[in-house]
């Protein structure tokens, strides 16, 4: 067992689960989507991205790409949230919530790909 691999797998799966936790629920109901869960998802995603830095293989490159996509989507969701509450002043209306959750849904898709690659990589391993 390799500690580095444990940490790597942990963060990738954790990013996906947090993302899923935030995503699940009625799409336009603010009480189903907790802001702290979004925050945690962003932080864990960022850490997962950094962990993927510096891998020269093809799989490493795809890993990094999916993570970057997830980061982008989640940050966009957070920005929409901040804009709606603080700048536009409309508050968390159903429409805003729906767009936040759908953005996080996109991120979830990227995270799922990341997890699939992780599983595929593990299965291909001969040892």
Residue choice 1, 2, 31, 56 for contact with another protein (CB under 8 A):
56
* Residues 6 or more apart whose Cβ sits within 8 Å of residue 113: 66
Helix ranges (H only) for 1-93 are 3-23, 35-51, 58-82
**Judged by CB under 8 A, does residue 89 bind another protein?**
no
**Judged by CB under 8 A, does residue 18 bind another protein?**
no
- Please report how close the Cβ of residue 102 comes to another protein at its closest, in angstroms: 20
| 94, containing H or E segment | helix 94-124
Nearer to another protein, 20 or 39 (CB): 39
Contact 91, 85 (CB under 8 A): yes
Which positions touch another protein (CB under 8 A)?
Answer: 35-36, 39, 43, 46-47, 50-51, 53-56, 78, 81-82, 85-86
């Amino acid at each position: 067992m390799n500690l580095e691999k444990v940490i790597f797998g942990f963060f990738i799966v954790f990013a996906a689960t947090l993302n899923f936790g935030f995503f699940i629920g009625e799409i336009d109901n603010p009480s189903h989507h907790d802001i702290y869960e979004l925050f945690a998802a962003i932080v864990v995603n960022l850490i997962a991205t950094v962990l993927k830095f510096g891998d020269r293989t093809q799989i490493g490159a795809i890993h990094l790409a999916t993570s970057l996509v997830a980061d982008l989507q989640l940050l966009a969701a957070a920005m929409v949230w901040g804009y709606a509450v603080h700048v536009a002043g409309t508050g968390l209306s159903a429409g805003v919530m729906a767009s936040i959750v759908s953005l996080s849904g996109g991120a979830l898709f990227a995270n799922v790909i990341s997890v699939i690659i992780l599983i595929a990589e593990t299965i291909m391993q001969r040892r």
